[in-house]
């Protein structure tokens, strides 16, 4: 199969940690170009690439089939639309867009030119999430599902675009996107959705706390995150007819990537454990299933070359943005 040449717009945290290492490691792709307006770190990390200083230059590169949008969230729609107009496939770092209207327009445009457009939901391939998905498929009746992702960011960095109050750039659209996508993938469309957002840190310009509740006929789902926690909570809790499952820590892939471990290294992958408490309170410890974000790119390559299913469907991408926008607007 001819390799899919990729151009990455932006070499910040997401492009550098979550995208380029997997493109470089994957047999179906070739990391062809990066737009890095300030500096040349991408060229140092990947000497073979073409380094562009403007997006327009990269869009004019006829060798590129797929553009990855790894810019601040409020620019995703504009940059993705430019790529589609240049007849490229597009992968957008989450969030997919900032409004339902933007999401629909991107999907409509991609369909009209027969191009792929989807969102990078790499957390579908975390080891803890894959383990939970398997557990729920194994004849377990779930009563409550709770996902928590707390951080400690009390000192606000005024130069960080996440803290500027741009549309789609707050905690709800950042981490809420992941948790909501996972919940919808696991349980489908809820009967009702309720959300609270707050700005709790002094001088915060953004939503830095959210709590969502999704109601289903036979279960309740709670999703929560904040930026003022000095100690993180249990990451996932599942109360079931068999007992309770505790997943304590975030999947290790992010920490490994930050430490310089790469997707094809022998020691790459999450090897952590989770605890199960049976109905009598007895605890046993189990190993998670291995997670690997390369599996996302397996599906992406299949969608582009073989017209296979997208790693995140248009319906899923649109539903997440619709729900986030609804919650955000209900608080204003």
pLDDT at 250: 85
Spatial separation of the C-alpha atoms in residues 329 and 79, rounded to whole Å: 24
Query: What's the rounded mean pLDDT across residues 206-225?
Result: 97
Query: What's the rounded mean pLDDT across residues 83-90?
Result: 98
Spatial separation of the C-alpha atoms in residues 237 and 128, rounded to whole Å: 11
> Long-range contact list for 34-38, CB < 8 A, 24+ apart?
34/7, 34/8, 35/7, 35/8, 35/9, 35/10, 35/11, 36/10, 36/11
Query: What's the rounded mean pLDDT across residues 212-235?
Result: 96
Higher pLDDT: 42 or 161? It is 42
pLDDT at 80: 98
Which residue, 135, 136, 212, is CA-closest to 178?
212
Determine the longest span between alpha carbons in the chain, in angstroms: 64
Query: What's the rounded mean pLDDT across residues 29-51?
Result: 96
Spatial separation of the C-alpha atoms in residues 68 and 9, rounded to whole Å: 6
Spatial separation of the C-alpha atoms in residues 167 and 72, rounded to whole Å: 10
Q: 121-177, pLDDT tens digit by residue?
A: 999 999 999 999 999 998 899 999 999 999 999 888 888 888 988 999 999 999 999
Q: What is the mean pLDDT of the chain?
A: 95
Query: What's the rounded mean pLDDT across residues 235-245?
Result: 97
Could you give the 3-state DSSP secondary structure of residue 325? helix
Spatial separation of the C-alpha atoms in residues 98 and 150, rounded to whole Å: 23
Which residue, 194, 181, 213, is CA-closest to 316?
181
Find out whether 221 and 213 touch, Cβ atoms under 8 Å: yes
Q: How far apart are the two ends of the chain, measured CA to CA in Å? A: 50
Which residue, 182, 211, 179, 180, is CA-closest to 198?
211
What token pair was written down for 321? Answer: 């943005």
Confidence band, pLDDT 50/70/90 cuts, at residue 299: very high
Query: What's the rounded mean pLDDT across residues 21-41?
Result: 96
pLDDT at 332: 56
pLDDT at 269: 84
pLDDT at 181: 98
Confidence band, pLDDT 50/70/90 cuts, at residue 233: very high
What token pair was written down for 260? Answer: 């310089």
Residue 15's CB is within 10 A of a number of other CB atoms, namely 23
Percent with pLDDT over 90 in the chain: 89
Find out whether 229 and 151 touch, Cβ atoms under 8 Å: yes
Structural domains of the chain, with CATH: 4-121 (3.40.50.720), 123-294+325-330 (3.30.360.10)
Q: 44-69, pLDDT tens digit by residue?
A: 999 999 999 999 999 999 999 999 99
Residue 255 DSSP symbol: H
Query: What's the rounded mean pLDDT across residues 199-212?
Result: 94
Strands (E), the chain: 4-9, 29-35, 50-52, 66-69, 89-93, 117-120, 142-150, 192-198, 209-216, 219-226, 236-240, 243-247, 273-278, 283-287
């Amino acid at each position: 199969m001819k390799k899919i040449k990729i151009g990455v717009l932006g070499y910040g945290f997401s492009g550098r940690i979550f995208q380029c290492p997997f493109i470089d490691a994957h047999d179906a792709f070739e990391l062809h170009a990066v737009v890095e307006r300030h500096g040349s770190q991408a060229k140092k990390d990947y000497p073979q690439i073409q380094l562009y200083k403007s997006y327009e230059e990269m869009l004019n590169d006829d060798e590129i089939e797929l553009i990855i949008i790894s810019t601040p969230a409020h620019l995703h729609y504009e940059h993705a639309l430019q790529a589609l107009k240049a007849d490229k496939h597009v992968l957008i770092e989450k969030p997919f867009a900032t409004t339902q209207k933007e999401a629909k327009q991107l999907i409509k445009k991609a369909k009209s030119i027969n191009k792929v457009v989807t969102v990078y939901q790499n957390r579908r391939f975390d080891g803890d999430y894959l383990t939970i998905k398997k557990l729920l498929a194994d004849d377990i009746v779930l009563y409550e599902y709770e996902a928590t992702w707390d951080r400690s960011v009390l000192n606000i960095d005024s130069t960080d675009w996440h803290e500027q109050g741009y549309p789609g750039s707050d905690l709800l659209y950042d981490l809420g996107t992941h948790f909501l996508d996972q919940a919808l993938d696991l349980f489908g469309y809820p009967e009702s959705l309720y959300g609270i957002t707050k700005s709790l840190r002094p001088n915060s310009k953004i939503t830095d706390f959210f709590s969502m509740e999704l109601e289903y006929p036979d279960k309740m789902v709670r999703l929560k995150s904040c930026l003022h926690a000095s100690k993180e909570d249990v990451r996932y809790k599942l109360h079931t007819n068999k007992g309770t499952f505790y997943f304590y820590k975030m999947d290790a892939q992010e920490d490994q990537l930050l430490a310089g471990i790469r997707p094809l290294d022998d020691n790459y992958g999450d090897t952590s454990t989770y605890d199960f408490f049976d109905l009598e309170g007895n605890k046993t410890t189990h190993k998670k299933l291995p997670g690997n974000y390369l599996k996302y790119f397996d599906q992406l390559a299949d969608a582009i070359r073989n017209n296979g299913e997208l790693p995140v469907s248009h319906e899923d991408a649109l539903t997440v943005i619709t729900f986030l926008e609804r919650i955000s607007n209900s608080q204003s």
